[in-house]
Amino acid sequence: MAFDRSDTKTDAAPILCLDQVEVIYPNGTVALQPTTVDFEDGELTVLLGPSGAGKSTLLRTLNLLVRPTSGAVLSREIGTLDATQSIRAHRRDTAMIFQQHQLIGRMGAMHNVLLSRLGRHSFWRTLVGFSEEERRLALECLTRVGLFEKALTRCDSLSGGQQQRVGIARALAQEPKMILADEPVASLDPASSERVLNVLRSICKEDRIPVIVSLHQLDYAKAFADRIIGLAGGQIVFDGPPTQLSETVLTQIYGSTGQDAT
Ligand SMILES: Nc1ncnc2c1ncn2[C@@H]1O[C@H](COP(=O)(O)OP(=O)(O)OP(=O)(O)O)[C@@H](O)[C@H]1O
């Protein structure tokens, strides 16, 4: 788990802000209480909290897969994200990585990576196919996640960890300005989990983009995050560096039983 923790903050304005964002699902569940929080370039943030705390809801609000019931999501480049066009532009710049990689198993790794380019094509361009430049980009992305030699291998014959790295390469090929990862290591063994988190951390630092990851594992959060946001009952109860994650804070996040804090 070794990496360089220096050089984590920037002077630039936050790339994305939630301003008093509240999420109430149609069945009345208050998943996120009015929340104000922002995210900076080059910072790896881990969302930590017990099951049902609101991690996925917060993460999905950041690319408006979940729409706020009240409050606003503000992008530094686009402004308030409230219209179809601005939301579409924001989503093009925001890559999402899921627990279940959502790859097409019968297709090769490179083909799966190229599919992320579809959002940038017109319908007619898509029929014509991918350019030489896009193929080169896809190979570069696979190289960055250590899978150059698997470019032509069908995804259903890759290991879980390798599939997740193809998912990250696919996210990279989108040339994102922000990466969101929803429990990306939940179904991986420790070695694969660390490799995936190391890859995400390298991308965050090399490309100076925010990477926001929801995790259940406290050890990984402490080892890989610049910043931890602790959630409980749809509220942010901690926001700071891993060094400030005291026993008192952990009790605030997980309750007195420490349940889920693995
Ligand atoms: N689509 C939905 N409709 C209604 N309630 C929902 C919906 N999605 C989530 N919830 C509820 O909102 C609350 C927050 O859920 P969320 O999935 O954000 O938590 P989480 O911290 O990501 O949990 P987990 O770690 O189990 O994934 C929970 O009470 C959950 O049951």
Q: What is the pTM of this model?
A: 0.89
CA of 57 to the centre of ligand 1 (A): 6
The reply to whether 98 falls in a domain is no
Q: Is 53 in the pocket of ligand 1 (CB under 6 A)?
A: yes
Q: Which domain holds residue 238?
A: 11-93+176-262
The reply to whether 73 falls in a domain is yes
167: helix, strand or coil: helix
CA distance 145 to 166: 8
Q: Give pLDDT, residue 102.
A: 81
Report ipTM for this prediction: 0.98
Q: How many domains does the chain have?
A: 2
Cα–Cα distance list, 108 to 111, 172, 195, 257, 259 (Å): 5, 17, 21, 45, 40
Looking at 131, 151, 175, the residue that finishes a domain is: 175
CA of 188 to the centre of ligand 1 (A): 22
Q: What does the pLDDT profile of the chain (262 residues) look like in tens digits? A: 333 334 444 456 899 999 999 999 999 999 999 999 999 999 999 999 999 999 999 999 999 999 999 999 999 999 999 999 999 999 999 999 988 778 899 999 999 999 887 766 655 555 567 788 889 999 999 999 999 999 999 999 999 999 999 999 999 999 999 999 999 999 889 999 999 999 999 999 999 999 999 999 999 999 999 999 999 999 999 999 999 999 999 999 998 755 555 5
> How many residues in total does the chain contain?
262
The reply to whether 2 falls in a domain is no
Q: Give pLDDT, residue 117.
A: 76
Q: Is 52 in the pocket of ligand 1 (CB under 6 A)?
A: yes
Alpha helical stretches, state H, 14-158: 55-61, 84-92, 109-114, 123-128, 132-144
The verdict on 33 and 127 lying in the same domain is no
- Confirm if 155 and 112 have CB atoms less than 8 A apart: yes
CA distance 224 to 247: 19
